[in-house]
Structure 1
Amino acid sequence: MESITSRVLDRVDLQILDILQKQAHVSNAEIARRVNLSSPAIHSRIKRLENEGYINKQVAILNPEKLGFDLLCFIFISTNIHQAEKLDVLEDAFRQMTEVLECHCLTGEYDYLLKVANRDRTDLQAFIRKLNELGITKIQTSLGLREIKYSTVLPILDEHE
């Protein structure tokens, strides 16, 4: 992930980002109407925000259960690997695993946390076998029972504005 540039975003930039993170399919004309600018100005600003790394990508967020992914797992991983090159290989392996939705490097008792989507227990078992082949020393798996909150929206604007 690229670092955020030191340039300060103005209020309109923040409004555009807020609209897009909540409704990525909104047209430039609609964004222009909401922030009081022209469509070409909105287009230019969005392109600039993309080029500067404020917008990583725009996607459709799918419903995993409707698509047969009934097991959402959180897998904590510890490893004894300390050499940078070997850690790069391990992290590349995580990136290549299609079941891995998110991978975070952690401080504390565990080195990594994986958020993994599996269709069933058989898929989960096969996934854990793949992990065991990577030289991992400890794996703790927790199954998500139900989702209380899920959001991709960052609080970039005050709630009262």
Structure 2
Amino acid sequence: MESAVHKILDHIDLQILDLLQTESQISNAELARRVNLSSPATHARVKRLEKEGFIKWQIAILNQEKLGFDLLCYVFINTHIHQMSQLDELETELQKLPEILECHCITGEYDYLLKVVIHDRNNLDQFIRKLNKLGISRILTNLSVREVKNSTILPIIQN
């Protein structure tokens, strides 16, 4: 069965996306060689994929431990807020906290899941105090002991 994405993107588009997500530093010339297109045609496809939102951004992923962020935490939070305007304000404030790498509104026992990087236990205490000032009613913090897998690569080409 063909997915909706495969109706929008052809196999060359998918190859380009797959190569860019695994080798973001690849030159346009090398990318063109690998997908068997001319450099201008490949460049035009990449620009179209960016414009259409298939390529969100290209970034360098830094080593958090080398930069002194020794704790990776997953923080579940509940709020007693039920009005949309107040929830919007809360989410705006959460977006401003630089320690938060990801914030997800979730289903289940908690309202939000935060992925947070912290330097040490003292900074964790300070971070939790910041959350408490935002009207959070319940917090559950889990510390990552060991990273088993960390990937940003989407399985767009199946082997």
Deviations 1:97-146 (A, max 9, x none): 00000111100000000000000001110000000001111000000001
Give the secondary structure class of the aligned counterpart of 2:107: coil
Provide the rounded CA distance (Å) in 1 between the counterparts of 2:141 and 2:63.
Answer: 22
Mapping of residues 35-50 of structure 1, within 5 Å: 35-50=35-50
Listed as ranges, the gaps of 5+ residues in structure 1 are none
Q: Percent same amino acid among aligned pairs?
A: 62
Instruction: Name 1:95's counterpart in structure 2.
Output: 95
Instruction: Name 1:134's counterpart in structure 2.
Output: 134
* Cα offset, 1:43, TM superposition: 0.7
Instruction: Name 1:11's counterpart in structure 2.
Output: 11
Provide the rounded CA distance (Å) in 1 between the counterparts of 2:70 and 2:76.
Answer: 19
One-letter amino acid matched to 1:123? N
Q: How many residues align?
A: 156
- Asked if residue 75 in structure 1 is aligned to residue 75 in structure 2, the reply is yes
Instruction: Name 2:61's counterpart in structure 1.
Output: 61
* Cα offset, 1:6, TM superposition: 9.8
* Cα offset, 1:82, TM superposition: 1.4
* Cα offset, 1:83, TM superposition: 1.1
8 Å CA contact 1:5–1:52 kept in 2: the answer is no
Provide the rounded CA distance (Å) in 2 between the counterparts of 1:157 and 1:7.
Answer: 14
Instruction: Name 1:149's counterpart in structure 2.
Output: 149
Provide the rounded CA distance (Å) in 1 between the counterparts of 2:43 and 2:93.
Answer: 37
Listed as ranges, the gaps of 5+ residues in structure 2 are none
Give the secondary structure class of the aligned counterpart of 2:65: coil
- Asked if residue 117 in structure 1 is aligned to residue 117 in structure 2, the reply is yes
* Cα offset, 1:23, TM superposition: 1.1
The normalised TM-score by structure 1 is 0.94
8 Å CA contact 1:73–1:144 kept in 2: the answer is yes
Provide the rounded CA distance (Å) in 2 between the counterparts of 1:78 and 1:93.
Answer: 15
* Cα offset, 1:7, TM superposition: 6.2
Deviations 1:44-82 (A, max 9, x none): 001100100111100000110011000000000011111
